[in-house]
Structure 1
């Protein structure tokens, strides 16, 4: 976006939600001369990237994987910053580790040639196959970043350029990710490693377009990074950029109603009163904004639409402060010691609490001494689950014991007796804190029928000055897509205001 303001007078833009999408949109709009107010129902900024502290520990409550670093770089550059200006970004080595049955541990090295050697050691010929697979993923990533992902998804016409049409077959929008991966690899350990981003953030691998092998390029070739101090430092960077641009944040202020007249939002109503607005960016839960804030006549999606959608998982999380070090834990640890296919079926098809779940353990104190007291460990455990499940304390505790059994077996030492801080978080918490539909944690799954123009529309067809951003619209779940979503929404608001 050009830096020159496009208005002689100020236009008032209201943003609902201060996650990455909302903060990105607000900063870009303020930088263009708009008077921007962000309403955030919680008392802190960052959305799902909130933090909490206790007993010397600081926990990231949401995102922990820092992939696609160029998306952050691109956003910061618009404000004259580099990532290094804002926080210390460290590449992890190993990027992450995978635990298979029998407590077999596979460290994923940061060096790509070492990774190819690891694949070759695991399956004859897989080293060269990985080079081919990642080269294909890099092509998709470059085309996606340059040609596709910053489009608003209004209609097919956006994707009808001759260049994109020529590249369509190589993008594999209509091929299955699962089938694509099996063209390259046979060993179930390598397939689990390749498919895990799809399971944790997307859908069943067989229902996900092979286009999303671009994620493997980012994670395995670009690398896995960590912002020192935790993901809260990234949220702080977005907050500071937005404030420097002139954004006004109003925390602990829930939007109660959007007043519409003649197909436009005229006022935003909160418990504190109302504010006149020229445009709205709704970066909170899409369904909540439509169904709780808009008159019924102004809604574009009925309940049966949302009920028919395929959602990425919710999750059960445990934040644990442990008063000793755990030698075998890496920064990122994926426990694939049970049946991948069964857990995926139970998330997406059966929608039940899992029988033998896969899970993820993050231990940032391996890398960052600031997040835990000296000699202690900051750990959070994440188990993907279906959306909409009841999550009373007895169920949470049952899975805590189950996961800790397996974690202690892997670590070869007692951990439970050393837990000095414990907090759980699950479906009902996502609903309460974020108005998340069915307690979803990541938004809509990246199935073909929910990609690009098939996602909920970024621009309301019924309310001309209402735009959406975040994980339930384009381009999808994850922090980099949220940043991109806020960027697209800001651009579309500016087009509207300048029309």
Structure 2
């Protein structure tokens, strides 16, 4: 039996641990916080419960595949509720549109706002589906160690289309086909799920529209904490070290030997770091074995951070669906504040996201109340400060939260929203840095720019330390819960010497 240490108990760490256990490894999972789940956390107060991380259940095929790979079924663990409409969009004039996963209905909606846009949407979605399937079949479940599959007739036939979608941005692709601002925003916003600015995201990622407009949006009843508990149920045989920060990855020559946790040493034949890769490279490895020293991060895009507002509200809020998005008409300025690195007196987007899981789940709020999770994109900058959920709230986080609540009330027509809030807590960029060692306080992970996508994103195996591997949102294939599951599978494929580009069957 080979011994492995997995650093980090988030989605990727739990998934990696589960797969290594099934492979016959003795696995020690080391997590610096007292709980498992990482960013997919939960917060409870006064009878309210909020997911504090992922809240969109997308790519159900990837989710189901992972649990099947672990010898079980996702249906044995989750009660998935289809959300229809999938989400509501509200603009700064109070107009709202409901987005569904019915292509016919969406084509009709697009056509009603812009003649000819219905047919264009159908073509756009057909393209998104084609590229999504190509990504699943050849670009996500792979370590890019074998390029022969990319010379197949099917891939070569699509090569001109792939190159065209890599050479332009998502913003340009959408804006050249659609004129209506709201329609443009609906098709461009998925870039935010990739921690990216649409103007710097390759048009290839229009595949994201397949996930919400074709596959649909679900909600795991009980929230993502139920999903985390499902992953935890797969790792009963692991040795857990909670509340245990890793202080160093130890080596002998070029070979990994284990990890140091305070005064204790845990030996290992392999180490899989599911922690933030910047933290792993710049803090846990000796300088001579850092493949990505601090200087190499200077030109990388860390993605966005967020100020999260967790609010418990008295009374019903029919103006909001389970998922609601506020889209500002000053769209470009919103992204400039968050992504271009310039200073702003008030560095917060007005295009924000609200989750009201009490719309679907009665157990997350006391009777006669709603729970709101308000996500405000901000720059990845720890100086914005902490929230009040885990300590003292910074002045700037407080102002951003107050502005977001007031904005939501105005735009959604909930005039008395602020006075109806009975409990409120916040989370800021410095909390992400403290709790998850996230680079610059980013809340999702590095952006999916062209230079940070596919094999350009880096390798999941250290080139300087034999036996050191990476999984999670900060490495390949990218950010998001499904990608973290895939990253765990790719580590398994790497260990097996599996150079295929297909999903693992057993």
* TM-score between the two structures when normalised by the length of structure 1: 0.94
Aligned to 2:481: 479
2:218 matched to 1:229?
A: no
How far apart, CA to CA, are the structure 1 residues paired with 2:323 and 2:292? 38
CA RMSD in angstroms comes to 1.7
Superposition pairs of residues 260-409 of structure 1, within 5 angstroms: 260-271=251-262, 273-352=264-343, 353-354=346-347, 357-392=350-385, 393-409=394-410
Gaps of 5+ in 1: 1-9
Superposition pairs of residues 36-47 of structure 1, within 5 angstroms: 36-47=27-38
Determine which of 183, 189, 214 is the counterpart of 2:176: 183
Pair 284,159 (structure 1): closer, same or farther in 2 beyond 3 Å: farther
- State whether residues 12 and 487 of structure 2, in contact with CA within 8 Å, keep that contact through their aligned partners in structure 1: yes
> 1:392-428: CA deviations, max 9, x gaps?
4211121222112211112333122222221111110
Q: Which is further off, 376-385 or 168-177?
A: 168-177
2:55 matched to 1:64?
A: yes
- Give, in angstroms, the shift of residue 267 of structure 1: 2.3
> 1:250-295: CA deviations, max 9, x gaps?
2111111111002011121113611110001100011111221111
- Give, in angstroms, the shift of residue 354 of structure 1: 3.1
Q: Would you identify which runs of 4 or more consecutive aligned residues in structure 1 move more than 4 Å?
A: 154-162
Q: Which is further off, 96-105 or 349-358?
A: 349-358
> 1:105-138: CA deviations, max 9, x gaps?
1111232211211111111111111111000000
- 1:166 is paired with a residue whose SS is helix
- State whether residues 151 and 158 of structure 1, in contact with CA within 8 Å, keep that contact through their aligned partners in structure 2: no
- State whether residues 349 and 376 of structure 2, in contact with CA within 8 Å, keep that contact through their aligned partners in structure 1: no
How far apart, CA to CA, are the structure 2 residues paired with 1:231 and 1:315? 18
- 2:472 is paired with a residue whose SS is coil
Gaps of 5+ in 2: 386-393, 499-506
Aligned to 2:502: none
Aligned to 1:461: 463
- Give, in angstroms, the shift of residue 203 of structure 1: 2.3
How far apart, CA to CA, are the structure 2 residues paired with 1:273 and 1:452? 37
How far apart, CA to CA, are the structure 2 residues paired with 1:347 and 1:424? 19
* TM-score between the two structures when normalised by the length of structure 2: 0.92
- 1:377 is paired with a residue whose SS is strand
Aligned to 1:419: 421
Q: How many residues align?
A: 485
Aligned to 2:388: none
- 1:488 is paired with a residue whose SS is helix
How far apart, CA to CA, are the structure 1 residues paired with 2:103 and 2:300? 37
Aligned to 2:69: 78
